[in-house]
Structure 1
Amino acid sequence: MISRSRRLMTALLCALSLAGVTALSACSDSTAASGTKVTIGYSAWPGWFPWAVAQEKGLFEKNGVNVDLKWFDSYTESINALSSGAIDANSQTLNDTLASVSGGAKLSVVLVNDNSTGNDKIIARQGITGVADLKGKKIAVEQGTVDHYLLLLALQEAKLTEKDVEIVPLLTDAAAAAFVGEQVDAVAAFAPFTSKALERPGSRAIATSAEFPGAIPDHLVVSEQMSKERKKEVQALVNTWFETIDWIKQNREEAVKIMAKRGAVSIDEYKSYDAGTTIFTKQQNLDAFTPGVTPAHLNFQAGKIADFIVSNGLAQSRPNFDGLFDDQYVKAVK
């Protein structure tokens, strides 16, 4: 199974296909397609495997963009690659993007790919029936990740803090293995590693990202320089995203085979992840980019995540949000 560490330390898109989306096939002139390559990174998260579909079905070329789609076994390396300028765009969470911005990276969020709505889970051993039962227990989690963030949200709701539990810091794949090996009482992880964790007899999910709407959004993130100087290519990537979603809807079985192969999981396993990733339509994108005071708005979530980053020592000061959320490309999709 492919490793994807959703680490907070420090593009492309994700899709499984949910609500109706009308795709736009644009920017398809040969000049763009034969121009400078755009190198975009992606890694093991169910919502991002569809970019293998876009590549295999020639949808990048159809939309006039020359793409080098780069797979990263280590998600952390993809974040670092974008921050250092080694790639032009990356598939990453809002948490990781804000951490990079706090470190001085100049980035632009140009698309909301999805929200995690169940594929991030806190899984506990038999006998633990709720988050409140975690008091005094050992929990494996990769520190600084979105699953660490999810764990803190769940503990807070249960009127507990991180001091009430014993954190065992491990990379996500190792954390799932430690849980299955009965070395810890619980684990916080994301799909597909949740499937591994649930192999422990009697284990069950006691909290998931479905209970915290909007807390874990995934994005197409590009360098600020690319957004300013290569707008046509960024637009082509966003157009390809929506066309890929539409293609998957119309060719579901073939698409699932491609995505399951990329994720190194069975077709049935991949299908089980569908409900846990909510793919955003254009309207949901526009709503998320609009400033607001609810979990549905990116600026609201960014504020909460910034507090998490600072309080956990991942940044000395809150990141600057000015110019971070760039909705011009989504608005241009017809």
Structure 2
Amino acid sequence: MISRSRRRPLTVLLALLTLAGVTALSGCSDSSAAGSGGKLTLGFSAWPGWFPWQVAQEQGLFAKNGVNVDLKYFDNYTDSINALSSGAIDANSQTLNDTLSSLSGGAKLSIVLVNDNSTGNDKIIARDGITSVADLKGKKVAVEQGAVDHYLLLLALQSAKLTEKDIELVNLPTDAAAAAFAGGQVDAVAAFAPFTSKALERQGSRAISSSAEFPGAIPDHLVTSQKLVKERPKDVQALVNTWFDTLAWIKANKAAAVGIMAKRGGVSDADYQTYDAGTTIFTRQQNLDAFTPGVTAQHLDFQANKIIDFIVNTGLAQQRPSLDGLFDDQFVKAAPQ
């Protein structure tokens, strides 16, 4: 199993952005830069809401929609975020809070599709004897610092009237964090599927909190450079159309699709099927509803401002990013119904 996490500190991201025009593009293929008219490089990593891209590739659905995609799987989720921010890839699968952190660092990005909401597949798992988040006070908790489940952990601590200072945070990549917990080295872990399966191998362990308790807090997206949207809108449209075609194929071929996605995630088909309830894949209508401005967690603009307040106040971001050009619903609106 490969990690969706391993987030570098924001200072490193800022340095990467500064070097973007000089070094980052030198490592990508000639056809991957936005506006080349050739291949479009799409990044993704380990998360149930992004594994459908593997189905799209294996079933030839990108080609069906007339877009030449180099689908790049990142063993390290943070590398994919940095690759998009620097311009080394054209599009990426990433969370809203990580996208906002990139914007804070100066990246010019657009969210063109909501893949899913995490509705339970991000979890805080604790050893036997710990039954609530409040019980984490003074305990060792492993998490990838600065990544999506660090955000979940901080939300959970806040709801229990605790702060990060009340725990002993052990900063580890998500796969290593889950393994450390399973091996009895820490008292709790914050992780996402498929690594939750590894953590729950520890006898007596249980989930004491999950993303299900924070509706809308962890939406996952197809994020592109604003340059790609401007220079290659037909290719962006083809990506969005491919996503909805893929969901239709999965619905009609569930067993085959589970096999493809489970293999990519490094888990059994049976384990993969347990993730269904914890990742809510968005329909076209749910996308349209999310992009519509509003005042509840259902609406991306509301959730983004809420996340910005949180990540700035907790030091996960150094400054408030502008949301100009971030939410671009034109492609979802134009997708066939």
TM-score, length basis structure 1: 0.90
Q: Paired residue for 2:3?
A: 3
The aligned residue for residue 155 of structure 2 is 153
Q: Which moved more, 1:140-149 or 1:199-208?
A: 140-149
Alpha-carbon displacement from aligned partner over 1:267-311 (angstroms, at most 9, x marks no partner): 111111111100011111111111111111111111122123223
Given that 1:119 and 1:190 are in contact with CA atoms closer than 8 Å, whether structure 2 keeps it comes out as: yes
Q: Secondary structure at the match of 1:3?
A: coil
Specify the SS of the correspondent of 1:175.
helix
C-alpha change, 1:314 and 1:155, in structure 2 (3 Å) is closer
CA contact (8 A) 2:51 2:264 kept: yes
Q: 2: distance between equivalents of 1:6 and 1:49?
A: 19
Q: Which runs of 5+ in 1 are unaligned?
A: 11-34
Figure out how many residues of one structure are paired with residues of the other and give that number.
310
The AA in structure 2 aligned to 1:254 is: A
1:144 and 1:312 in contact (8 A); partners too: no
CA distance in 1, matches of 2:173, 2:306: 24
Listed as ranges, the gaps of 5+ residues in structure 2 are 14-36
| 1:202 aligned partner | 204
- For 1:51, the equivalent position in structure 2 comes to 53
Give the C-alpha shift of residue 313 in structure 1: 2.8
Q: Which amino acid aligns with 1:320?
A: S
Distance 1:39 1:251 in 2: 26
Change in 2 beyond 3 A, CA 1:6/1:324: farther
What secondary structure does 2:222 align onto? strand
Provide the rounded CA distance (Å) in 2 between the counterparts of 1:6 and 1:194.
16
Query: What's the CA shift string for 1:72-112, capped at 9, x where partnerless?
Result: 11111111111111110000001111111111111000000
Residue 316 of structure 2: which of 299, 314, 319 is its match? Answer: 314
* C-alpha contact 2:5 2:148 (8 A) present in aligned 1: no
Pair 1:250-2:274 in alignment:
no
Q: Distance in 1 between matches of 2:141 and 2:317?
A: 24
My pick for the range that moved more, 307-316 or 126-135, is 307-316
Question: Partners of 2:153 and 2:317 in 1: how far apart?
Answer: 19
More moved, 157-166 vs 46-55? 157-166
How far apart, in 1, do the equivalents of 2:171 and 2:3 lie? 17
Give the SS at the match of 1:133.
helix
Find the aligned partners of 1:7 and 1:301 in 2 and give their Cα distance.
Answer: 21
Q: Are 2:246 and 1:241 aligned?
A: no
Q: How far 1:46 sits from its partner (Å)?
A: 1.1
Give the whole-Å Cα distance in 2 for the aligned partners of 1:176 and 1:288.
32
Does 2:177 correspond to 1:175? yes
Give the structure, 1 or 2, with the largest relative contact order (CA under 8 Å, sep 6 or more): 1
Find the counterpart in structure 1 of residue 218 from structure 2. Answer: 216
Distance 2:84 2:154 in 1: 27
Structure 1 ranges of 4+ moved more than 6 A: none
CA shift for structure 1 position 163: 2.0
Q: Would you say the 8 A contact 1:138–1:167 is kept in 2?
A: yes
In structure 2, the partner of 1:302 is 304
Q: What amino acid sits opposite 2:250 in the alignment?
A: I
| Deviation at residue 6 of structure 1 after TM alignment | 6.2
Distance in 1 of aligned mates of 2:319 and 2:197: 36
RMSD of aligned C-alpha atoms? 1.2
Q: What residue number does 2:332 align with?
A: 330
Query: Residue 132 of structure 1 is aligned with which of 121, 131, 134?
Result: 134
| Deviation sequence 1:21-76 (CA, Å, 0-9, x none) | xxxxxxxxxxxxxx511110011111111111101111001111111111111111
Q: Which residue of 2 aligns with 1:67?
A: 69
The CA deviation string for residues 236-283 of structure 1, in whole angstroms up to 9 with x for no partner, is: 000000000000000001111111111111111111111110001111
Amino acid at match of 2:57: Q
**Letter of the 2:39 counterpart:** K
The counterpart of 1:189, out of the listed 176, 188, 191, is: 191
